[in-house]
Amino acid sequence: MADKITNIANDNAPLTGHAFDGIQEYDNPLPGWWKWLFIATIVFSLLYWPYFHFGAPGRSASERFSVAIAENMRLQFAEIGELQPNEATLVKMMYDDGWVKFGESVYRANCASCHGLDGGGIVGPNLADDHYKNVREITDILNIVQNGAAAGAMPAWKSRLQLNEQILVSSYVASLRGSTPAKAKGAEGNVIPPWPAKPADAPVNDEVNSSNSEPVQ
Ligand code: HEC
């Protein structure tokens, strides 16, 4: 019977000497390099696991990720420092395209799920129209962002975002007013007065304009 078996591996390999239902097994061990590689991965894991999970604090991937994020944010914020949570800052940042973009990234990550990517509103109200439920002045936006509203239906972000992020996302939300979302939720609340006008010291946003606006010698 054994001579009918097609041996695809090695015709000269010795048999192991045992048979199951007449089927015999060749003794074809795995190559040495393969076994050593396998053993090496086990040894590696025995070193890797305690090193990253029980070693000094800060070694795990998630901890290093948080540190990298914090460092990145520190670098970005080096330019503006610690923002003051007041009307002047909110208005100034609302007119600064660069920081509005930063606010938008905070918004997309944390707020878009309830307010829509373009602020048209889903669970949360439309942030692009002139109607507001809890907001009368621009500073009320920051207050709602920090402390939440409607018993947590709008979550409080005070301990979840850095103060600069809270301020910049509020300026971004303010900047949404007057835009036209793709799918706008119906108006809720009251019409409120317009935001304060663009301050005289607001940054020049358009790069082309700012380079053009330099005095011609
Ligand atoms: C879990 C859903 C949810 C998330 C996430 C969320 N919101 Fe809200 N938000 C709401 C709801 C619901 C309301 C309405 C509260 C009420 O009825 O008074 C609201 C209200 C607001 C208001 C006041 C609007 C008004 O008309 O008075 C602002 C401003 C706001 N949210 C901004 C944000 C920002 C900025 C973020 C992200 C940092 C955010 N929201 C994340 C659900 C959410």
Task: Tell me the C-alpha distance between 142 and 173, whole Å.
Answer: 10
Task: Tell me the C-alpha distance between 104 and 110, whole Å.
Answer: 10
Q: Which residue has the higher pLDDT, 37 or 65?
A: 37
- Ligand 1: distance of its center to the CA of 124 in Å? 5
Tokens of 161: 């975002």
Model confidence at 213: pLDDT above 50: no
Greatest CA separation for the chain: 100
pLDDT band, residue 86 (cuts 50/70/90): very high
**Among 117, 127, 154, residue to substitute to test ligand 1 (most atoms within 8 Å of Cβ):** 154
Give every CB contact of residue 175 below 8 A, 6+ residues apart in sequence: 94, 100, 103
- The position carrying tokens 């990298």 is 68
pLDDT of res. 52: 85
Ligand 1 close to Cβ of residue 60 (< 6 A): no
Q: Which atom of ligand 1 is nearest to the CA of 132?
A: 26
Average pLDDT over residues 189-210: 76
Task: Tell me the C-alpha distance between 165 and 173, whole Å.
Answer: 12
Average pLDDT over residues 10-25: 83
Q: How many residues does the chain have?
A: 217
Ligand 1 close to Cβ of residue 123 (< 6 A): yes
pLDDT band, residue 8 (cuts 50/70/90): low
- Ligand 1: distance of its center to the CA of 110 in Å? 10
Q: Where would I find the beta strands (DSSP E) of 92-211? A: 131-132, 190-191
- Ligand 1: distance of its center to the CA of 70 in Å? 25
Task: Tell me the C-alpha distance between 102 and 10, whole Å.
Answer: 64
Task: Tell me the C-alpha distance between 126 and 176, whole Å.
Answer: 10
Tokens of 171: 């300026």
pLDDT of res. 11: 67
Task: Tell me the C-alpha distance between 215 and 201, whole Å.
Answer: 18
β-pair type (15-20, 23-26): antiparallel
pLDDT of res. 65: 87
Model confidence at 144: pLDDT above 80: yes
Give the domains, in start order, of the chain with CATH numbers: 32-75 (no CATH), 83-205 (1.10.760.10)
Q: Which atom of ligand 1 is nearest to the CA of 173?
A: 35
Task: Tell me the C-alpha distance between 113 and 119, whole Å.
Answer: 10
pLDDT of res. 215: 43
Ligand 1 close to Cβ of residue 189 (< 6 A): yes
Average pLDDT over residues 31-50: 95
C-alpha 90 chain-centroid distance? 23
Exposed, middle or buried: residue 163 (CB in 10 Å: 0-12, 13-18, 19+)? middle
Which helix (H) or strand (E) segment holds residue 23: the answer is: strand 23-26
Return the residue whose CA atom lies nearest to atom 30 of ligand 1. Answer: 145
Model confidence at 207: pLDDT above 50: no
Ligand 1 close to Cβ of residue 100 (< 6 A): no
Mean model confidence pLDDT for the chain:
87
- Ligand 1: distance of its center to the CA of 159 in Å? 16
Strand partners, 132: 190
Model confidence at 67: pLDDT above 60: yes
Model confidence at 122: pLDDT above 90: yes
Ligand 1 close to Cβ of residue 86 (< 6 A): no
Does the predicted TM-score (pTM) go above 0.75?
Answer: no
Ligand 1 close to Cβ of residue 156 (< 6 A): no
pLDDT of res. 69: 82
